[in-house]
Amino acid sequence: MPSFFDTSIDKLKGIGPKRAELLKKELKIFSFGDFLQHYPFRYDDRTKFYRIQELGSDSNYVQLKGKIVSHQLLGEKRKTRLVVKFRDESGEIELIWFAGAKWIEKTLRKDVTYVVFGKPTIFGSRINMAHPEIELLGENKANAPEGFLQPVYHLTDTLRKRGLDNKIIAKAMRELLTQMHPYIIETLPTEICSKYRLIGKYKALLGVHFPINHETLKQAERRLKFEELFFIQLKLFREKKINQNKFSGFVFNKLNTLTTFYRDHLPFDLTNAQKRVIREIREDFLSGRQMNRLLQGDVGSGKTIVSFITALMAIDNHKQVCLMAPTEILATQHYEGLKEFADLLGINIKLLTGSTKTKPRRVIHEELENGSLQLLVGTHALLEDKVQFQNLGLCIIDEQHRFGVEQRSKLWRKNKPIPPHVLVMTATPIPRTLAMTIYGDLDVSVIDELPAGRKPIKTVHKYDASRLAIFGFVRQEIQKGRQAYFVFPLIEESEKFENLKDLMDGYEAISRAFPEYHVSIVHGRAKPEDKEWEMQRFIKNQTQIMVATTVIEVGVNVPNASVMVIENAERFGLAQLHQLRGRVGRGAEQSHCILVTNVKLSKNSKTRMETMVRTNNGFEIADADLKLRGHGDLQGTQQSGTVDLLVADVAFDGPILTEARKVAEAITEKDPNLELPEHEGIRTHILSLKKSTINWGRIS
């Protein structure tokens, strides 16, 4: 049965069919439930009135009380604007409307007191306010003794032009909140609400849309954030438990080849962090359940050798292994790095990418199906239907955030009836709170220790004016026998970013500055074989300088490269800067990263540069990145298909997430099928949601 919250939005008083069509098109609001969860993005404090003479260019949104002296329409057709002279006892200000000017003019009256709300700006010697809210005194709660915080909702220009403003949205929201009271079901058990001092559901919804004061708003947001995060965690825990019960996994208990590798061929001692992770994976392989594990490790922490050791456990038990990487460069590098060990151990390893020719491809298909090919490394080409394994026991996915859920599941379906174990790896450090939210259904292992002998990369921030000094420093390093990267954000000139260093200009300038050295160039538009040829020249030290775009961000491993110069570093996010920096520092020598920017930097850009200079810790950088950019940008969460947050923010709500996760875990352990009477509200809420809804914290 459709619920009250499924009711079409055109049935809400104050909306109607025409406005409903606009809301559907512009904001994807189709039902009462959608509208109710169109939460305010900020609140304007309407408890104070300012005097016009108090206003300055630094004033934020302010509220004025006064009368209209005059008004007139200026300009013609699309350039029509409404100019209103507005006065209080201290002075005069101009109010200007460009959109809806004629409609607003018809509503204006002289000799009555209006309340005006907006952001003042100084134009020449005059002060004005563009597109302010205006209403008769007494129409809102601005003069209520307790004052109030007015909600401000996200709107589009189209909505505003068609007269659907914040005032109308707020009025319709009040109507909906009045109507919905009997239909709100308390979703959290009384015991949990008492323990965590959470207010009731209806009170929270009322408080988030129309808070009386800051304390009311704080309580409302805390309740809704807790609920949203609780239901996401509950979903992840239940899915994990179902999968553990549903999918049995191969047991890998033989270790013959692995023992030989440890004894005769391992070229260095493993770090304690690597040993810990290998133990965790080994426990999964002995449990009889399918492994789904995320392996996080900072750049250069040694994830590849851990993945090879994991592969040996599967191969020792007569199972095939595939390793999938997002680019041909990275897949080729994995293949070449692992082939050296595989050959020593007599393991048949092959590489499959989009560039693999027909004849070797045919051999790969045959050997996969007869079981003689034990380890296949490749790109998206592994997902093709023609790629069939005889007995796939382990899938390793590198830089997993580059692959969508459907792509990963295609690999899992390559072996029936028992699905292969899955190890997904990422060198992009994920903050703990985000990992719990996106990957809560996976077990997480972290390599939080760099191999012995690695020196922290020295990072400095320089401006364009220091270019000669930078070239001088790079020359000194090359004279010591080292190599250097110069990374640019663009391939060719663009009108939009005309002030940025263009890759081709940069290549020519660097070639002129270093005539005695050879320079390679790599970018995303180059053919795969050309990229590979240039990379190989650099790896073999036939070229001393690599000029590139971010194609070298992931996976390029040249231990002799000790300098990374990042041009227009302000154009890169923190996570990307950290990945790029990780291309150096892979040998025993001291490495350097030079961030080159324009002198004019935004506040966020300055913070990014300061963070990079201050720390090499990937997790600290990831936390800072999350706070700067928000969870939506960080990992491409829509691709991973798990996070769709409405009120919570994992960058700042870590403590709430931790508590919500504890509660969800306890309930899953105690009552996995939600059969106890105290969990009836939770069960009812989940059952009422559409299967396609990702976020269980949503209104059904």
Residue-wise pLDDT tens digits, 266-287? 888 899 999 999 999 999 999 9
Q: Is the whole model's pTM more than 0.75, yes or no? A: no
**Per-residue model confidence (pLDDT) at position 144:** 44
Residue found by looking up tokens 């392996």 in the block: 295
Are 260 and 382 in the same domain?
A: yes
**Tell me, what amino acid is at 403?**
F
Query: Over pLDDT 90: what percentage of the chain?
Result: 45
Same domain, 568 and 681: no
Distance from C-alpha of 115 to C-alpha of 126, rounded to nearest angstrom: 20
pLDDT at res. 139: 65
> Considering the chain, what percentage of its residues have pLDDT values greater than 70?
89
| 36 and 52 assigned to the same domain | no
d(CA 183, CA 575): 45
Residue 197 belongs to what domain range? 190-246+651-688
Residue 699 lies in a domain: no
pLDDT for 556 beyond 90: no
Residues found in the chain: 700
Q: What pLDDT does 453 receive?
A: 72
Indicate if 261 and 344 belong to the same structural domain: yes
- Who contacts 26 (Cβ-Cβ below 8 Å, separation ≥6)? 155, 156, 158, 159
User: How many structural domains compose the chain?
Assistant: 5
Q: Which of 12-26, 58-72, 579-593, 623-637 has the lowest mean pLDDT?
A: 623-637
Which residue type occupies 75? Answer: G
One domain, residues 489 and 585: yes
- Alpha-carbon gap, residue 500 to 488, rounded angstroms: 9
Nearest partner of 488 among 437, 582, 552, 401, judged by Cα:
552
- Any idea what the CATH number is for the domain that residue 486 is in? 3.40.50.300
Domain check: are 407 and 266 in the same one?
A: yes
Q: What are phi and psi of 295, to 5 degrees?
A: -110, 110
Long-range CB contacts (< 8 A, 24+ apart) of 67-74?
67/110, 67/111, 67/112, 67/113, 67/114, 68/108, 68/109, 68/110, 68/114, 69/110, 71/105, 71/108, 73/101, 73/102, 73/105
**Does residue 103 lie within any of the structural domains?**
yes
Amino acid occupying residue 301: S
Q: Is the pLDDT of residue 642 over 50?
A: no
Distance CA 155, CA 119 (A): 17
**Does the pLDDT of residue 393 top 80, yes or no?**
yes
Same domain, 354 and 438: yes
Looking at 391, 420, 447, which one is the last position of a domain?
Answer: 447
Least-confidence region, from 223-237, 325-339, 443-457, 485-499: 485-499
φ, ψ (nearest 5 deg) of residue 490: -130, 160
What DSSP string runs through 8-72? Answer: BGGGSTTTHHHHHHHHHHHH---BHHHHHT---SEEEE-S--B-GGG--TT--SEEEEEEEEEEE
Average pLDDT over residues 287-306: 86
Question: How many CB atoms sit inside 10 A of residue 677's CB?
Answer: 7
Does the residue 626 lie in any domain?
Answer: no
Q: What are phi and psi of 296, to 5 degrees?
A: -100, 135
Residues 298 and 356 in one domain: yes
Does residue 37 share a domain with residue 117? no
CB 426 within 8 A of CB 277: no
Q: Looking at residue 289, what DSSP letter applies?
A: B
Residues 6+ apart with CB under 8 A from 180: 4, 5, 32, 36, 202, 205
**Cβ contacts of residue 532 below 8 Å, gap of 6+?**
328, 329, 332
| Same structural domain, 309 and 225 | no
Residue 62 is assigned to a structural domain of this protein: yes
- Range 423-459 burial, b when 16+ CB lie within 10 A, else e: bbbbbbbbbbbbbbbbbbbbeebbbbbbbeebeebeb
Residue 89 phi, psi (nearest 5): -70, -10
Domain final residue, candidates 447, 471, 504: 447
Q: What is the CA radius of gyration of the chain?
A: 30
Express each pLDDT in 227-276 by its tens digit: 999 998 898 888 777 776 667 889 999 999 999 998 998 888 899 999 99
Determine contact, residues 613/486, Cβ cutoff 8 Å. no
Residue 63 in tokens: 């509220």
Q: Residue 295 and residue 307: Cα distance in Å, rounded? A: 9
- Mind spelling out the 3-state secondary structure of 629-692? HCHHHHCCHHHHCCCCCCCCCCCCCHHHHHHHHHHHHHHHHHCCCCCCHHHHHHHHHHHHCCCC
Residue 127, domain CATH: 2.40.50.140
